Structure 1
Amino acid sequence: MSHRGPVRVQDRHGFHTLIDARSPAEFALDHLPGAINCPVLDDEERRIVGTLYKQQGAFEARRVGGAMVAANLARHLRERFADAPAHWKPLVYCWRGGMRSGSMVTWMRLVGWDAQQLAGGYKAWRRHAMEVIERMGPMLDLRVVCGPTGSAKTRVLQALAAQGEQVIDLEGAARHRGSLLGDLPGVPQPSQTAFETLLADQIESLDTTRPVFIEAESAMIGRLRVPAALLARLRASPCIEIVAPQAERLAFLLRDYAHLGYDPQGLARRLEALRELHGRAVVARWQAWALAGALPALFGELMALHYDPLYERGHRSHLHAWGQRRQVTAALLDDASLPGLATAVCESARAL
C-alpha cells in the first residue's frame, strides 16, 4: 500500500531500502543510517551542472543534467535494481527532497514499484539527528565507566553490550581511542556530521527507563567534538571506576597498541607533541625508546608520567560525581576475564 502524505524521517523504517540519490562525495560525508548510494549525478556531473546553472541558467543546466540523470537511472535499473521484486518499496532522498530524488522516484513508479520520496531530504534527517541528541541526551540514565589508560574500558563496554546491556560507544562512533596515540591504523575518523548521525542512531534506539553505559571521555575524541547535550549529561552522571594493577594495565596496552610498534618513526613523531608538557629531555628518551621498539619501557613511563596524572586531574575537574564513584577491582584484564568484569561493573551500577 502506498504511503499517504509526506514521508517523514520517523517513517523510514517502514521501507525495504533507503536510497541516497546524492553524489558519492555527499554520501561519504554523511548519510542516513543504512542507506545505499545510487547517485543520479556523480561528483563530476554535479560540478558540470552547477557550473552551467551559474553561467547559462536553469534551462541549460536541466537540459544537460537531465540527460545525465536519465543515463544514470537507466544504469541503476539495469544493475542495482535489476533483482528488485514487484512489491519492493524503496524510500529515496537527496539534499532537500527535490529534483534528484524526485526524478528517481518518478521512474521507479513508472516501473511499478511503490517508491516514495523523503520529505525534506538529508536536511530533514540532519535536523532530526540533532533534535534526538538534544532532546534524549539529558533524559538518559547514564552510568559512566571510568578507569586510567589500559584498564580495558572499551572492551568492558563491548562485553556489557554482549550481555544485553544498553551502551553508547563514543570511541566506536568516532573511530578513535580518544588519546594522543588513539587513532586506529588505516581507519580515518568520520566527519563531525557522520559522527553525530551514528550517535543519534544509537541514542534513538535506547530505552530511557533503563541504565545506559558510556565511557568517560573528554570534549574531543581525536578531532571530533562530543555533542554538548550528551557531554553535559555524561559529566553529571554516576561513575564506576575500574581499578587494575599497573602491571596488568601495561600488559593490556602492549596487546592493544601493538600496532604502534610497526611504525617507530611515526610513533616518535607523534610523541613530539608532548615536548611542551614534559620537556625536551624526557620526550627525547621516549622517542629513543620508540625508535628502538622498547614499547614496555615507553608505555610504562607514558602511563606513570603522562596518562595517569592527566586522568586524575581531568576526572576530578569534569565529572561532578567523581567523589562518590564506586570502584570495581580487576585482578586480570585478559579476554577471558572481561565478561566477569563487565558483570561486576553492571552489579555496581545497579547499586548507584
Structure 2
Amino acid sequence: MFKDLTIQELLEARKNKKITLIDVRSPSEYKTATIPGSINIPIFTDEERGEIGTIYKQVNVEAAKERGLEIVSAKLPQFIKEFSMLEGDRVVFCWRGGMRSKTSATVVDLMGIPVSRLQGGVRSYRRWVVKALEESNFTQDAFVLNGYTGSGKTTILRRLKKQGFPVLDLEQMANHRGSIFGQIGLTPNNQKMFEALLIEEMQGLENSPYFLIEAESQRIGKIMLPQWIMDKKENGIQFFIDMPLEIRALNILEEYRPWEHAEECMISFQKIKRRIHTPIAAQIEKDLELGRYESAVQMLLAYYYDPRYEHTASQYPKEKQMRLKVSNIEEAANAIRELMDSKLKIRQ
C-alpha cells in the first residue's frame, strides 16, 4: 500500500535523496502553478476533466465516477509505463490530495511500482509557501547589480551563479525580463509559481552571508516582489555597469531575437509609444515595421530607457555606488567578480 507524506516529510526527504514529484492534474492546472521541479503525468486531459465536471453537476457523483473510471481504464497501460520510467522515489499529488492522486497512487502501487502520495496536494504546498514567506528572516546583505538596459545584468548574474556566487535570479523565477518587452518569447510565471520558486531559492542561500540581486522595480511583468526584497535592494551595495550603447543594442538583439517575434515587439512598443517624443516614436515604429531592429533598439535606448535609468540611478547615495566602465558582458562579469572578492576580504 502506498504511503502518505506530509509537506514536512517531503521537504526533509528532498534534502537527502532524489525525489521525483508527479503532478497528476490536467495540463492547464499544471501550467498555472505546481511544485517546482515536478513533472506532469495527467490522469485526465483538460477536456476529460471538463466532461467529468459537467456530468458531476448535471447528473450525479456516481455517473461522474463511472465516466472517470472508463477514461482511466483506457489509458492505464501508458500511464503505468510513464511511471515505470521515472527515477528516484516517486511522489504523486493533485490539488488537495483527493481522488486523482489516490487513484494514481493505488494503480501504480498495484503494479509493483513504489510510490507515495502528498497529503493535501498543491493546496497544502501553497499554504506552506505562504507561511514560509511570512516567517522568513532573510538577514543577508545584498549586492545589487545596476546598469543601463542591455548591459547583460541577468547574463552576468547567471555566470556568477555558475561560479558559486549566491544569487537570487528574480527574472528567472518570474520567467520575464522585467521591461515592457520582457515577456517576448517567454511564458511568464504567475505570482504563486514565482513565490514557490523564491522560497526554495531562499532556502538554498540560508548559510550565505550575502547574495547578489538585480536592481528590479517592484513589478516584474505581473509579478509583485515582496517588500523585503525592495528594502534589501535599496540598502545594498550598488554596482553600476556603464557599457557603450551600441554594444548594449547588440546584446538585446542577441537575447530577444525580435525578427522572430515581430508582432509581439510592435504590440509592446505601442504601450510606450506615447511616452516618447513624437518624431522619434514615429521613426522607431517605422524601423520595427521594416525590420531595422538595430536602429529601433538604439533609439529606444537613447530616448526612452537610458533617461529613465539615469533618473533612477541618481536616487542612490554616491557612497554606495561602485561604477564599472566596461566594453562588454565578459569584462563586466570579471570586474564584478574581482570587486566581490575584494569586498568580502575586507569584511573578513
Q: TM-score, normalised by structure 1?
A: 0.84
Identity of aligned residues (%): 28
Post-superposition offset of 1:322: 4.6
Post-superposition offset of 1:290: 3.1
Structure 1 counterpart SS, 2:142: strand
Residue 313 of structure 1 aligns with which residue?
A: 311
- What is the distance in 1 between the residues matched to 2:54 and 2:124? 26
Q: Deviations over 1:52-108 (max 9, x none)?
A: 22122222222222332343444312x2134569xx631111100111111122223
Summarize the alignment of residues 2-41 of structure 1 with structure 2, pairs less than 5 Å apart. 6=6, 8=8, 9-11=10-12, 13=14, 14=17, 16-41=19-44
How has the CA–CA distance of structure 1 residues 111 and 244 changed in structure 2, closer, same or farther, with 3 Å as cutoff? same
- When structure 1 is superposed on structure 2, of 169-178 and 190-199 the one drifting more is 190-199
Summarize the alignment of residues 1-352 of structure 1 with structure 2, pairs less than 5 Å apart. 6=6, 8=8, 9-11=10-12, 13=14, 14=17, 16-77=19-80, 79-83=81-85, 89-136=89-136, 138-185=138-185, 187-257=186-256, 259-261=257-259, 267-316=265-314, 322-335=317-330, 337-347=331-341, 349-350=343-344
Post-superposition offset of 1:262: 5.5
Post-superposition offset of 1:143: 1.5
Report how many aligned residue pairs link the two structures: 343
Whether the 8 Å contact between 2:22 and 2:93 is mirrored in structure 1 is yes
Unaligned stretches of 5+ in structure 2? none
Post-superposition offset of 1:16: 3.8
Unaligned stretches of 5+ in structure 1? none
Cα RMSD (Å) = 3.1
Structure 1 counterpart SS, 2:136: helix
Structure 2 counterpart SS, 1:25: helix
- What is the distance in 2 between the residues matched to 1:90 and 1:265? 42
- What is the distance in 2 between the residues matched to 1:266 and 1:112? 49
Post-superposition offset of 1:286: 2.1
Whether the 8 Å contact between 1:92 and 1:118 is mirrored in structure 2 is yes
Whether the 8 Å contact between 1:52 and 1:60 is mirrored in structure 2 is yes
Q: Deviations over 1:294-344 (max 9, x none)?
A: 445443332232212211333555xxx654323142332154x34413313
Post-superposition offset of 1:268: 4.6
Whether the 8 Å contact between 1:150 and 1:253 is mirrored in structure 2 is yes
Whether the 8 Å contact between 1:143 and 1:349 is mirrored in structure 2 is no
Post-superposition offset of 1:216: 0.6
- What is the distance in 1 between the residues matched to 2:201 and 2:333? 22
Post-superposition offset of 1:134: 3.6
Structure 2 counterpart SS, 1:81: helix
Post-superposition offset of 1:223: 3.0
How has the CA–CA distance of structure 1 residues 25 and 255 changed in structure 2, closer, same or farther, with 3 Å as cutoff? closer
Post-superposition offset of 1:293: 4.4
Q: Deviations over 1:220-253 (max 9, x none)?
A: 2223332444334333433222233445444544
Post-superposition offset of 1:345: 4.2
- What is the distance in 1 between the residues matched to 2:213 and 2:83? 40
Whether the 8 Å contact between 1:133 and 1:227 is mirrored in structure 2 is no
- What is the distance in 1 between the residues matched to 2:245 and 2:190? 35
How has the CA–CA distance of structure 1 residues 31 and 215 changed in structure 2, closer, same or farther, with 3 Å as cutoff? same
Q: TM-score, normalised by structure 2?
A: 0.85
Post-superposition offset of 1:189: 1.7
How has the CA–CA distance of structure 1 residues 153 and 119 changed in structure 2, closer, same or farther, with 3 Å as cutoff? same
- When structure 1 is superposed on structure 2, of 34-43 and 266-275 the one drifting more is 266-275
Code of the aligned partner of 1:112: G
Post-superposition offset of 1:112: 3.3
- What is the distance in 2 between the residues matched to 1:244 and 1:84? 47
How has the CA–CA distance of structure 1 residues 54 and 265 changed in structure 2, closer, same or farther, with 3 Å as cutoff? closer
- What is the distance in 2 between the residues matched to 1:31 and 1:316? 40
Q: Deviations over 1:150-180 (max 9, x none)?
A: 2221121122112210111112222322112
- What is the distance in 2 between the residues matched to 1:262 and 1:5? 45
Whether the 8 Å contact between 1:30 and 1:191 is mirrored in structure 2 is yes
- When structure 1 is superposed on structure 2, of 247-256 and 268-277 the one drifting more is 247-256
Whether the 8 Å contact between 1:196 and 1:227 is mirrored in structure 2 is no
Q: Deviations over 1:17-66 (max 9, x none)?
A: 21111111111212212212122222122112211221222222222223
Post-superposition offset of 1:114: 3.4
- What is the distance in 1 between the residues matched to 2:223 and 2:336? 27
Whether the 8 Å contact between 2:7 and 2:124 is mirrored in structure 1 is no
